Amino acid sequence: MPNILFRMPNPYRQESGPGVSKDDLPTGFFRGFFTLGRLNRMLYYSLLSALVMIPIMYFFLMLSKAVNWAQFTADVDQWLEDVQIIVKNGEEIAQIPFLKSLLLALLTSVPLIPALIAAAVMAICFGPFNCGLAYCFRNHVRGDHVWISDVFTRALKNWKQGLFFALFDLLATAALVCYIYMPTESFGLPAGVVSYMRVAAVCAAVLYIVMRFYIYTMIVTFDMRLRQIFKNAMMFVIIGLPRNIIALIGILAVIAFIFILPAFANQAILFVALFMVVLGFALLNYISAYFTYPVLHKMMVQPALDEQAEADPDQMAMEPVMADEITAERRREKRKSSNYGKKKR
């Protein structure tokens, strides 16, 4: 089973050569993430992600507090109680009151105006930055070379579509937060109906999270309209269901680790914070890219390359379907070595 989950075959496996070192080649999940040649990149991606994400995450915590403070504190109490049950089978944990005090202190001590300004600036950067990250992680999974500057160059190149989907992401998240934390009586509907509506909203959010596994990668890989991106992403939710489930399980495991570990000791809070800043954000992106990109490659990338190669093999190198293919030489080598460019009959 581990071999199936963490060394899935890569149909786009390449050989090392000019511009592609051995560290760039596709490999198993753990080795691919923790290889020394890549680990410094993961640190780089995670630090940048923390810079963008922390102000935005803080804003949504403030929004939850503003919409329904009583419900928010009740949810904090419930989370701490659940952690206590999971970790110590219901026994009292000295760290629990400290965790609650720390979280509520963070929400009341940070100056509101600077926090909102930082969140607004990072919200503008959020979409283009996700495009840059999607490009880098896609290339790591494919085994293509990645420059440190690619995060920024690809963010600038795809800023329009990135900004649109960032706006969609943030509005959808804000709507979900308000939908969950608004008092039940404010809906003017029976409590049971509101509960079902909230469950439906959470299910829709999970569906969109899976769609996001593919959206930003399609933005940096193809020249497509927004409607086509949405349509294809919805199709990939079903087509890539096994891999999508594995990716979700992996992401939930990382999140569970982050929320449960602080219950063991106060010092673990610092460790978890450092883990998220140093590796955590990159690990979440790597999980989604590693398990879902093969679906996109099989269903869209390879057929497009095959069609282009068959239509005009001589012009394929000059007019690739993907503008970020590295060299024409690599494509010629692929065609010679593995029947690259021929459709399967």
The model's pLDDT over 115-140, given as tens digits with 9 standing for 90+, comes to 889 999 999 999 999 999 999 999 98
Locate 239 and state its tokens.
């087509």
pTM: 0.76
pLDDT at 6 over 80: no
| pLDDT one-digit tens code per residue, 223-254 | 999 999 999 999 999 999 999 999 999 999 99
Residue 319 CA to residue 305 CA, distance in Å, equals: 11
Write down the domain spans for the chain.
21-293
Residue (of 238, 243, 343) closest to 294 by Cα position: 243
Give the pLDDT of residue 12: 45
Mean pLDDT for 162-189 is: 87
Give the pLDDT of residue 24: 45
Q: pLDDT > 70: what percent of the chain?
A: 66
Give the pLDDT of residue 155: 96
pLDDT at 92 over 70: no
Give the pLDDT of residue 306: 81
Is residue 289 exposed (0-12), middle (13-18) or buried (19+ Cβ within 10 Å)? buried
